[in-house]
Structure 1
Amino acid sequence: MKILKFALSCVLTVGLLAACGTSEENKEKQGTGGEAPQEKVTLVMGTSADYPPYEFIDTAVSDDIIGFDVDIAMYIAEKLGFELKIQDMDFNGLIPALQNNRVDFVLAGMTPRPDRLENADFSDIYYVAEQMIVFKADSGINSLEDLAGKKLGVQLGSIQVDLAKEIAEEFEGVQIEERNKITDLVQELKANRIDAAIIEDKVAEGHLNANADLAAFIIEEEGEVGSAIAFPKGSELRDQFNEVLREMVENGEMEKLIIKWFRQG
């Protein structure tokens, strides 16, 4: 009997110790709040980092992608409790990346034009800009009529492609030249391989300030053409992002970012 009592005592003691050990492990996992801390879900943002001040790399400072769109994405991700990873790629590869689930959303100064709406869902418009014709100052180009018979450059896959086609339909002999990056267009202009390029105003301003030999004028368009965030079809993120975008407008955060990236200096 003594042997049996001793054996049962050992079993109970081991059981209690094991229970205590489990409890301590749970406390460590749960933290002070009593619940296990959950790792943040990482969202992958697709962008084309050649579009200052929306998204670009200031190589003189670091290799990080910065800009207006990046600040918007960081604000939204923090507000919704997500980690953010930014993936750089050519602009014309952004919508395919959404469709192939390589990215969770696209923030790249993208306009929700009809063909894109067929392949992606878009947020509310978060910024409205104008388009400019950029050219060499000594080229003799002063109006859209002067583009007749000229080579007009645009970024591949951009809304400017459609605008260039409209110009080509109106003025005889306009040849459309597409390039992957805005910086490619500027280099082509300076090398006289194209005569003009269509670039969004805030993006063009940076290149105009850096290149005294370039000039530009605004293209008069009907209606507003703005930028929105793109998501895979049916993504639940769209409504969540829209809620934060509206909040940013209401609390003045969006205006702060606009002043920071578009109106400073």
Structure 2
Amino acid sequence: MIQLVKRIAGAAVALLVLAATPAMAAAEPEYTVGATATGVPFTFLDVKSNSIQGLLVDAITATGKAAGFDVKVEQTTFSALIPSLTTKKIDVISAAMLKTPAREQVVDFSDTVYSYGEGLIVRADDKGKYTSMDDLKGEVVGAQVGTAFVDALNKKGIFKEVRTYDSVADIMRDVALGRIKAGFGDHPIIAYQLQKNPNPQLRLVDGYQPSVKGQLCFVVRKGDNATLEKLNAGIRKIKADGTLTQIIKKWQVE
């Protein structure tokens, strides 16, 4: 009888301990985040660690820390980001994907993380003064597949041809080789790549005024309000405490 009472008392104590420490049983949620390997300095494959690094990786990690969730970053090609999201292979997109009305019909965007427009790259020996897309009327130009820049160029309807590429590096190669007259891409990405790896055959056109001025946000499935609210809460915190400003400074895209 005494042993039975002891066992009952021990079980009661154990239940009280568990009830008093619910945080121990509640693990933080983990979101699978899709990012590209070709968007330096926003997202890129670091060959030393064989992991995706960059401004937007730091930003989503900091956002998760502030909002109470973990992240697992997976490499995904840019054109496959939205299909991977809508088919639930990933939970969040953190990549250089500008917010556009067309995309807003398919997915939901968080508060703004960073803003910029397109840059124009031409051969270094091309002395033309280009201030807008219109200045390249009748030429063969290029942009990265799946970007808002391709849509803007095609909508213009003034070019001899608009070629699409898998990466900014591919665009830069074809501009240098003279296969296309000019290339359009994310201004911070082009500027960063030319800063880190100068190419005497290319120049980023000063004075060019971007036509597509956009916002970089985290992206979630349409109607996934729970994830969106967590992301926005985290973004507000890292903006308020200066964490996001420090991340932007770290990646030299101010």
TM range (shorter): 0.7 to 0.9
Which of 178, 190, 194 aligns to 1:192? It is: 178
Contact 1:152 1:196 in 2 (8 A): yes
Distance 1:190-1:22 versus aligned 2 partners, 3 A rule: farther
How many equivalent residue pairs?
248
Unpaired runs of 5+ residues, structure 2, are none
Query: Cα deviations across residues 72-95 of structure 1 (Å, max 9, x unaligned)?
Result: 110111122222101111111111
Question: Which residue in 1 is equivalent to 2:33?
Answer: 45
Shift of 1:69: 0.5
Letter in 1 for 2:49: S
Contact 2:64 2:234 in 1 (8 A): no
Contact 2:118 2:212 in 1 (8 A): no
Asked which structure has the greater CA Rg, the reply is 1
Q: Is 86-95 or 211-220 further displaced after alignment?
A: 211-220
Contact 2:52 2:74 in 1 (8 A): no
Contact 2:31 2:91 in 1 (8 A): yes
Distance 1:198-1:136 versus aligned 2 partners, 3 A rule: same
Distance 1:259-1:212 versus aligned 2 partners, 3 A rule: same
Contact 1:130 1:219 in 2 (8 A): no
Give the structure-1-normalised TM-score: 0.82
CA distance in 2: counterparts of 1:137 and 1:240, whole angstroms: 46
Please report the RMSD computed on the Cα atoms of aligned residues, expressed in angstroms: 2.7
Is 1:258 the equivalent of 2:248? yes
Seq. identity, %: 22
Question: Which residue in 2 is equivalent to 1:150?
Answer: 139
Is 1:108 the equivalent of 2:95? yes
Question: Which residue in 1 is equivalent to 2:209?
Answer: 220
CA distance in 2: counterparts of 1:93 and 1:145, whole angstroms: 30
Distance 1:182-1:21 versus aligned 2 partners, 3 A rule: farther
Unpaired runs of 5+ residues, structure 1, are 1-8
Give the structure-2-normalised TM-score: 0.85
Query: Cα deviations across residues 29-81 of structure 1 (Å, max 9, x unaligned)?
Result: 9499476433332101111121111111232x321211110111101111222
CA distance in 1: counterparts of 2:22 and 2:79, whole angstroms: 48
Distance 1:233-1:33 versus aligned 2 partners, 3 A rule: same
